[in-house]
Amino acid sequence: MRTATIARKTKETEISVTINLDGTGRYKVSTGVGFLDHMLEQLSRHSLMDLEVTAKGDTHIDFHHVTEDTGIAIGEAFSKALGDRKGIRRYGDALIPMDETLTRVALDCSNRPYLIWKVHFTRDKLGEMDTELFKEWFQAFAQAGGITLHVENLYGENNHHIVESSYKALARALRAASEIDPRATGAVPSTKGVLGGTL
């Protein structure tokens, strides 16, 4: 089983993450930020990764540190669980509709982190969470996870749907990219023989 546990503690946050890439989508999430919990549950359920997240932080200031550091910790756990990345499909994409909204995610588990974020909101907050923080989460996750990640909301009106479709599309793309390819067992999916570094 490809599993990993990460414990991250700073003066701003204390976070524990356990991930199982070959799970069934079971989750136990508690970050102190209700909307973020909802999105991480979607991430687990639709990627079929088992995910346990416990986070405490300086939410009396705002939700920035908990959001960003949760992205870092989950990204680190994902990367650790992938190991040397041999045999994985490496690439994944998903096009997810949610009522009037359509969002596309394409990614490469390349060990070369990069984020393209083409998502815009018309509201400053969803619940108590600042909508600008979603980019921070995706950036932190991509950086720590070693993922080239492109997120594009093609159209939509409801901000909740825009965010949720982004997480669901990420989940489906991660599921595809992290799966073991039975035709390439043990092989690094690169002509260089290693993932990461320069192109």
Domain at 59, CATH number: 3.30.230.40
Question: In this structure, is residue 198 part of a structural domain?
Answer: no
Contact 92, 21 (CB under 8 A): no
Residue 27, strand partner residues: 51
Minimum mean pLDDT among 49-53, 155-159, 187-191: which range?
187-191
Contact 86, 187 (CB under 8 A): yes
User: Mean pLDDT over residues 69-80, rounded?
Assistant: 98
Question: In this structure, is residue 195 part of a structural domain?
Answer: no
Enclosing domain of residue 129: 3-178
Amino acid letter for position 106: A
Question: In this structure, is residue 67 part of a structural domain?
Answer: yes
Question: How many domains are there within the chain?
Answer: 1
Contact 136, 39 (CB under 8 A): no
Phi, psi at 141, each rounded to 5°: -65, -45
Helix ranges, 12-158 (H) = 34-47, 64-82, 133-145
Residue 18 has a pLDDT of: 98
Question: In this structure, is residue 199 part of a structural domain?
Answer: no
Task: Give the Cα separation of 137 and 40 in Å (integer).
Answer: 11
Residue 184 has a pLDDT of: 79
Minimum mean pLDDT among 41-45, 56-60, 112-116: which range?
56-60
Q: Identify the burial level of 56 via C-beta atoms within 10 angstroms of its C-beta, where 0-12 means exposed, 13-18 middle and 19 or more buried.
A: middle
Instruction: Check residues 29 and 190 and name the one with the higher pLDDT.
Output: 29
What b/e string do you get for 156-186 counting C-beta neighbours within 10 Å, with b at 16 or more? beebbbbbbbbbbbbbbbbbbbbbeeeeeee
Residue 189 has a pLDDT of: 65
Question: In this structure, is residue 144 part of a structural domain?
Answer: yes
Q: What is the per-residue pLDDT across 139-174, written as a single tens digit (0 to 9) for each? A: 999 999 999 999 999 999 999 999 999 999 999 999
Question: In this structure, is residue 193 part of a structural domain?
Answer: no
Going by pLDDT thresholds of 50, 70 and 90, the confidence category of residue 88 is very high
Residue whose entry in the numeric block shows the structure tokens 């991509």: 142
What lies within 8 Å, CB to CB, of 36 at 6+ separation is: 63, 66, 67, 70, 129, 137
What lies within 8 Å, CB to CB, of 101 at 6+ separation is: 153, 155, 156, 157, 158, 161, 162, 165
Average pLDDT, the chain: 94
Phi, psi at 183, each rounded to 5°: -90, -5
Q: What is the per-residue pLDDT across 107-132, written as a single tens digit (0 to 9) for each? A: 999 999 999 999 999 999 998 999 99
With pLDDT > 70 as the criterion, what percentage of the chain qualifies? 94
Question: In this structure, is residue 164 part of a structural domain?
Answer: yes
Question: In this structure, is residue 197 part of a structural domain?
Answer: no
Residue 183 has a pLDDT of: 82
